[in-house]
Structure formats: C-alpha cells, structure tokens
Chains A and B, each alone.
Chain A
Amino acid sequence: MKTCLKVSNLQKTFEERVLFSDISFNLKENEILTLIGSSGCGKSSLLNIISGIDKDYSGDVLIDSSLGGQEKRNYISFAQQKDLLIPWKNLLENAIFGLEIEGRDKRRSQSLAFELLKKFNLEGSEDKFPHQLSGGMRQRVSLMRSVLLQKPILLLDEPFASLDSITRENLQNWLIGLLDEFQFSVILVTHDIQEAIKISDRILVLGGSPSEIVDEIIVKKTNNEAIYRKIRKNLSREVADV
C-alpha cells in the first residue's frame, strides 16, 4: 500500500516539558492506524500537530510524500474528542459547517448531508439543535461534518471517550462499517485497548517519558487476546482498561 502521510522526528515541548522527542511513522492509504498510550503521553498533541492546529513543533509532517508543504487542511479532516458542535446551528447546519467554510453551494451541501443522514442514524433529527441531541448523536454529527469534507485522511481523537460503554460499543461497530465503506486513511487516538484492537489495522503503542513508540502491532495477523496482553505489558498502569 502507498504511504499517504509521513511523520518524521516529531518533537513537542509544552511548558518546558518534552512531550515526545523523536516520533516517526507512516500512514498507508486506506489504513486505520491507532496511537495508544496513557493519559498525558501526547497522543492528542500529535494529532493537533498532524492536523495543522498546532504549529509549534519540530520535525516533519509530509502528506503523500510529493505533496509535502501544501496546506494540510486540504487533505486532512479532524474529529476531536469534544464534538464541538455550534450551539445555534441545527444538526444539518452543523454537519455542513465545513462545506460552508469552504464556500460550497448551500443546497448542494444540504443534499449531500441528507444522503448521509441515514448512514449516520440521524434521520428525522436534522432540525434539532445540539442541546436536544444525545451524546452519541452529537458525536455522529461531528463525524459527519468531518466525513462530508471528503478529505483522504481522517484524524479521530478519542471520539467516543465521553460516552457510556453501551453507546461506545454501538458506535465502534458502526464506525468500523463506516470506515470500511468510505475508505479513509485514519489515525485514531485512544486509551481504550479493546477499541484499538476492534477498529485498527495497525497499533502504535506510545510509552515512556518523553513519549516514544515502544511497540508496533499489526492487528489482523495476530490473535486479539495476545495483542491485548502485549499492549497491557507495554503501557503504564494508568491506562484505563475499559
């Protein structure tokens, strides 16, 4: 598979503390890559750098090798841990917010969103405001906003962390189907080992201080129970076992 994103020698310092000093990895086309690590190891900071939100770092983030240096936002969409829905926009308006920013035709954007509503189990709620939606629905709208942007690389920062375990499991199953259908290249950040095993093709385990990649696991070629034990061994004790 072709490499679509190359991260080389990333270093990030925050308030005089080195979060990570030499992180390098590749993301392949249509691959679901998970970064797993304990709280505070810098997983979210990594995504902030890759997405272009955080520009204060050293190292390189190159997209599709030859396209390096061009605007990251043209290739990357980012669904963050918080759903970040705009409170005064209804579900449909929130879903097409990214397209609105890109200056796309409103009617065309709305019809694109309408086509996806069923896939995201949001049919019939398009006029509801964020405060009228459940946590799971809000996360799906947030994901829909990212999916509608139709960027080849999708970054997911603990998208289901704030949800209860039943909703989380349902959404994980739903997400697997969705990612299969849309063929994104995905970087998922999580501290949930089961979630990582369930969704990913490959897992990078972050550990140590400053953080570094301590292990790389190809999921589909190995037994799940063995992977679980291997990750647990590599992670520090504070990793939540949910």
Chain B
Amino acid sequence: MFKKSSRFLPPFILLFILFSLWEISVRLLDVPDWFLPPPTLIINELFASFGLLLSHFALTSIEVVIGLIFSMIIAVNFSILIFFFKTVEKSVYPLLIASQTIPVITLSPLLLVWFGPNILSKVIIVAIISFFPIIVNFLDGLRSADPDILKMSEQIGASKFQLFIKIQLPFSFPYLISGLKIASVSSVIGAVVGEWVGASGGLGWLIKTSSPQFLTERVFASIIVLSLLAIALFSIFYLIEKIVLNKYPIHGG
C-alpha cells in the first residue's frame, strides 16, 4: 500500500507545486483570464461545463475507440501476412515505413473531402495514426520467439500453425500490448487533428471554437479531459498487460 502510494505521490506533489506557482504568479502579475487563466478557474470550468465537456468527450471517445479497434484488427492481420509471406514483407513493409514520413495532419483535409465531416473521417485518421506502432511492435514480438524452443517444438512434430499459435503468438503478446499502449495515446491526437480540420463536435472541435472566443479556461478544461482520455486508454492496456503477464509469465516472471 505504502509502496504504491509512494510511486504516485511524487508526480502529484510536483503537479501541486507547479499549479500553486501558476495560480500565485497569474494573480500577482494580474494576468488576464483570457490570456492565462489560473488553475482554480480551469477547475471551476470543468464543473461548470461538465455536461458540455461530457457530450464532446463522448464523441471523441467513440472516434478513438472505433479507430483503435479498426486499426488493431487491420494491423494484427497485416502483421501475420507480413510474418508468413516474404513477398508481402518485401513489398509492403518499406512502403509502410515510408508512409510514416507523411504528417497525418496533411491527410485530414483529403479525408474530409472524401468522407465528409462525419465520424468516419476521424475514425480513419485515428486508425492511420495507431496502425504503425501496433504493426511494428507485433511483428517484432512474433520474431522474438526463442529459436531453440521453436526447434525443439519442430523436432517433436509441431506444424507451422502450432508453432504460431502455441509459441510465436504468446511470445509476441507483451510487444503487441506495448504497441497498443503507444497507439492509445497517439489515437487521441489523431481524433483531435481530425476534429480540428472539419467537424461539428468533439473535444478538438470544442478547443478550436473556444479559442477565438477567448474562452481560454474552456480550452484548458478540454485539454485536461483529453489527457484523462489518453491516460484511461493507456491504463486499460497497462492493466490487461499486468493481469495477463501475472497469469502467464511470458518473460519468465
């Protein structure tokens, strides 16, 4: 109990100190709220606009979750194809790496034109931004299986399918989860980018529309909600990892 609290306590203390300095500084220097609101005003806005933030949070969450699931399904299947077929690896993998040099924000206007300002264009952006960390990590995981265990299994008579299901897939699990943890954080960025370029709702849209109105405390409140969404998604995968690795010590405990 003490150990757990001692792990979380330092960042909370640091945050508290930073917010206190921020609060004192803006009040002492008489900084206008539209320029930099004090933390207490932002917290107040979180409660005052709770309903508004919640409705936009729900929309962004749906975009992120659907995009992540979509991305995970495609990335896992693609990884398996690349893993088993050298031709697919040679043709697809270099293009995949090259595609990462294209900033996703530049694709957003195109997706907006092709799919309209609805949820689909955001889901696609989330899927694109999450795809790379999942596929790269999962592939590394599939290749991480102990070659001596694979040879031993082959000697016993394991088929390629058995090797994949019983050895390579379990060995890849921690890598896949690592990819998903990275993807979960970047997926929130993807959704915000999509909403920024063209949308009628979502936290990204709320930030974009609040800023020109000088509702800076609402911009900060939206950023906090977005961070909480990313932390929640990350924590879900972290928990899954802990539970599975506790039951099946893939790295030897």
Given contacts A129-B249, A129-B253, contact A84 B158 (CB under 8 A): no
**Could you say which residues of chain A place their CB within 8 Å of the CB of B151?**
53
B252 touches A98 (CB 8 A): no
Question: Chain B 140-160, CB within 8 Å of chain A: the 1/0 string?
Answer: 000000101101111111100
Q: Which of A51, A77, A101 has the most CB of B within 10 A?
A: A101
**Could you say which residues of chain A place their CB within 8 Å of the CB of B47?**
none
A86 touches B167 (CB 8 A): yes
Does A181 count as interface, using CB distance less than 8 angstroms? no
Does B224 count as interface, using CB distance less than 8 angstroms? no
**Could you say which residues of chain A place their CB within 8 Å of the CB of B148?**
80, 82, 84
Interface residues of B in 98-149 (CB under 8 A from A): 146, 148-149
Partner of B157, one of A82, A86, A102, A132: A102
Chain B residue at minimum C-beta to C-beta distance from A73: B157
B155 touches A73 (CB 8 A): yes
Does B15 count as interface, using CB distance less than 8 angstroms? no
**Could you say which residues of chain A place their CB within 8 Å of the CB of B155?**
51-53, 73, 78
Chain B residue at minimum C-beta to C-beta distance from A132: B253
Cβ distance B49 to chain A, nearest Cβ, rounded Å: 47
Interface residues of A in 89-148 (CB under 8 A from B): 97-98, 100-102, 129-132
Cβ distance B165 to chain A, nearest Cβ, rounded Å: 11
**Could you say which residues of chain A place their CB within 8 Å of the CB of B253?**
87, 129, 131-132
**Could you say which residues of chain B place their CB within 8 Å of the CB of A87?**
249-253
Interface size grouping (class) on chain B: 20 to 34
Cβ distance B17 to chain A, nearest Cβ, rounded Å: 41
B249 touches A88 (CB 8 A): yes
Does A149 count as interface, using CB distance less than 8 angstroms? yes
Question: Chain B 230-253, CB within 8 Å of chain A: the 1/0 string?
Answer: 000000000000000000111111
Q: How far is the CA of A102 from the CA of B162 in the complex (A)?
A: 10
A98 touches B248 (CB 8 A): no
**Could you say which residues of chain A place their CB within 8 Å of the CB of B158?**
101
**Could you say which residues of chain B place their CB within 8 Å of the CB of A88?**
170, 248-250
Cβ distance B153 to chain A, nearest Cβ, rounded Å: 6
Cβ distance A47 to chain B, nearest Cβ, rounded Å: 10
B156 touches A98 (CB 8 A): yes
**Could you say which residues of chain B place their CB within 8 Å of the CB of A82?**
148
**Could you say which residues of chain B place their CB within 8 Å of the CB of A80?**
148, 152
B162 touches A101 (CB 8 A): yes
Q: How far is the CA of A98 from the CA of B155 in the complex (A)?
A: 10
**Could you say which residues of chain A place their CB within 8 Å of the CB of B251?**
87
**Could you say which residues of chain A place their CB within 8 Å of the CB of B166?**
100-101
B252 touches A130 (CB 8 A): yes
Q: How far is the CA of A130 from the CA of B153 in the complex (A)?
A: 17
Query: What are 19 inter-chain pairs, A to B, with CB distance below 8 A?
Result: A53-B151, A73-B155, A73-B157, A77-B156, A78-B155, A80-B152, A86-B149, A86-B167, A87-B249, A87-B253, A88-B170, A88-B248, A98-B156, A101-B156, A101-B158, A101-B162, A131-B249, A131-B252, A132-B253
Given contacts A100-B166, A131-B252, 17 further A-B contacts (CB under 8 A): A52-B155, A73-B157, A78-B152, A80-B148, A82-B148, A87-B249, A87-B250, A87-B251, A88-B170, A88-B249, A88-B250, A97-B153, A97-B156, A101-B156, A129-B249, A129-B253, A131-B253
Closest 6 CB pairs of A and B: A88-B248, A131-B253, A131-B252, A87-B252, A84-B152, A98-B156
